[in-house]
């Protein structure tokens, strides 16, 4: 029994792992205006916002990302999944150039990354069955069954401050919550209203679910970029402004989450971008 080979294998695997994590140059995309390929982080499992459908991606986030990328002169867009926990490190390690993934602008996150936008103002809300009449807002949830994902802030907020008699079910994805809601075993799902609207807009659920429409928080969706990249930030903001001005923003929203009957708060949407 010789150990040269197994040890060599460890070395090879270690080298492989290194090459996976290390990057040469900026593979996620060059500066705006220089063309070429750009890698953009989105969600893969949020209908209406960022959803993998076959080999394609669709949703509002995807549409905005495509518009911005085109406006910035990139000729090719590659989408990469950016799970919530990984968004900051994906940007810091240059694996993605921008993130359009229901990414709320918060002071905490600004310590690690910068944001362009916002491009949409959402709010935490409730999704209920279309025939439901007794849930009209978070304060009516006492004694009801509410579903959200593990580590969700909106469910925690309802339980702690608004309706402490609520029963909380947590799954790892929203799609499981929505399935449970559709089958009637829970009463409501909570997260940002536009995500909920995306589910309600799915053809399989059409007419069965509705968004309550009483948002109880403000979530400002920004475009995550590497910290301090003001040049990119300014360019994205210009692109977003153009998108709103030429009507593409409205068109994209109507095409993706529109079928649910959801209309965003017109007082805040479309939003004006923050200064970079």
Partner 1 sequence: MSGISTLLREYDVLGAFWVTIQLTLWGALGALLLGTVVAVCRVSPVGVLQRAGTWFVTLVRNTPLTLIVALCALGVSNTLKISLAPPDSPTFIVDNGFRWGVVALAVYHASFVAEALRSGINTVPTGQAEAARSIGLGFGATLRHVVLPQAFRGAIAPLGNTLIALTKNTTVVATVGVAEAAYLMRNMIEFNPSLLYFIFIVMAAGFVVLTLPVGLLFTWLSNRLAVRR
Partner 2 sequence: MSAQASVLFDAPGPRARVRYRIIAVVGAIVLLAMLAYFVVRLADPANNQLTAEKWLPFLTPTAWTAYLLPGLLGTLVAAAISVALSIVFGLLLGIGRLVEQRWIRWACGAFVEFFRSVPVLMMMLFAYYAGLYGLRISGTALPLFGVVVGLTVYNSCVLAELVRSGVNALPAGQRESGLAIGLTPLQTLTTILLPQAITAMLPSMLSQLVVILKDSALGSMISYLELLRSGSYLATAFANLIPTLIVLAVIYILINSALTRVAGAVEQRLRRGPRGVVTRPVTAGFVPEPAAEPDVPPTIMPPRDDRPGRRR
Does 165 bind partner 1 (CB under 8 A)? Our answer is: yes
168 binds, among partner 1, partner 2, none (CB under 5 to 8 A by kind): partner 1
Asked whether 149 and 106 are in contact (CB, 8 A), the reply is no
Nearer to partner 1, 183 or 203 (CB): 183
Q: How many angstroms separate the CA atoms of 48 and 114, rounded?
A: 25
Q: How many angstroms separate the CA atoms of 28 and 69, rounded?
A: 12
Can you give the binding site for partner 2, defined by CB under 8 A?
A: 1, 6-7, 9-10, 13, 17, 20-21, 44-45, 47, 51-55, 80-81, 83, 85-86, 89-90, 92-93, 95, 172-173, 175-176, 178-179, 182-183, 202, 204-205
173 binds, among partner 2, partner 1, none (CB under 5 to 8 A by kind): partner 2
20 binds, among partner 1, partner 2, none (CB under 5 to 8 A by kind): partner 2
Does 151 bind partner 1 (CB under 8 A)? Our answer is: yes
6 binds, among partner 1, partner 2, none (CB under 5 to 8 A by kind): partner 2
Does 185 bind partner 1 (CB under 8 A)? Our answer is: yes
Shortest Cβ 102–partner 2 spacing (Å): 15
Shortest Cβ 203–partner 2 spacing (Å): 8
164 binds, among partner 1, partner 2, none (CB under 5 to 8 A by kind): none
Binding pattern for the stretch 29-68 against partner 1, x by CB under 8 A and - elsewhere = ----------------------------------------
Does 180 bind partner 1 (CB under 8 A)? Our answer is: yes
Shortest Cβ 225–partner 2 spacing (Å): 15
Label each residue of the chain as H, E or C. CCCHHHHHHHHHHHHHHHHHHCCCCCCCCCCCCCCCEEEEEECCEECCCEEEECCEEECHHHHHHHHHHHHCCCCEEEEEECCHHHHHHHHHCCCCCEECCCCECCHHHHCCEEEEEEEEEECEEEEEECCCCCCCCHHHCCCCEEEEECCCHHHHHHHHHHCCCCEEEEECCHHHHHHHHHCCCCCEEEEEHHHHHHHHCCHHHCCCEEECCCCCCCEEEEEEEECCCHHHHHHHHHHHHHHHHCCHHHHHHHHHCHHHCCCCCCCCCCCCCCCC
Candidate residues 184, 203, 267, 275; the one interacting with partner 1 per rule CB under 8 A: 184
Nearer to partner 1, 110 or 251 (CB): 110
């Amino acid at each position: 029994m010789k150990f040269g080979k197994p040890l060599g294998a460890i070395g090879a695997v270690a080298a492989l792992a290194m090459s996976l994590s290390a990057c040469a140059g900026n593979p996620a995309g060059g500066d705006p205006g220089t063309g070429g390929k750009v890698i953009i982080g989105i969600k893969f499992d949020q209908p209406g916002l960022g959803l993998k459908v076959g080999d394609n991606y669709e949703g509002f986030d995807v549409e905005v990302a495509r518009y911005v990328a085109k406006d910035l002169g990139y000729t090719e867009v590659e989408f990469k999944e950016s799970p919530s926990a990984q968004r900051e490190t994906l940007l810091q390690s240059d694996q993605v150039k921008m993130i359009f993934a229901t990414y709320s602008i918060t002071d905490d996150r600004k310590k690690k990354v910068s944001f362009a936008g916002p491009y949409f103002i959402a709010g935490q809300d409730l999704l209920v069955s279309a025939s439901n009449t007794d849930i009209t807002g978070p304060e009516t949830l006492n004694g009801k069954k509410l579903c959200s994902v593990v580590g969700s802030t909106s469910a925690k907020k309802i339980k702690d401050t608004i309706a402490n008699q609520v029963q909380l079910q947590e799954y790892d994805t929203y799609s499981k919550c929505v399935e449970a809601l559709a089958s009637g075993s829970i009463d409501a799902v909570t997260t940002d209203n536009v995500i909920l609207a995306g589910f309600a807009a799915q053809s399989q659920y059409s007419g069965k679910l509705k968004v309550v429409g009483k948002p109880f928080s403000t979530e400002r969706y920004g475009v995550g970029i590497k910290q301090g990249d003001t040049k990119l930030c300014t360019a994205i903001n210009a692109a977003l402004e153009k998108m709103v001005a030429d009507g593409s923003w409205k068109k994209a929203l109507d095409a993706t989450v529109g079928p649910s009957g959801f209309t965003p708060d017109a007082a805040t949407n479309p939003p004006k971008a923050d200064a970079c």
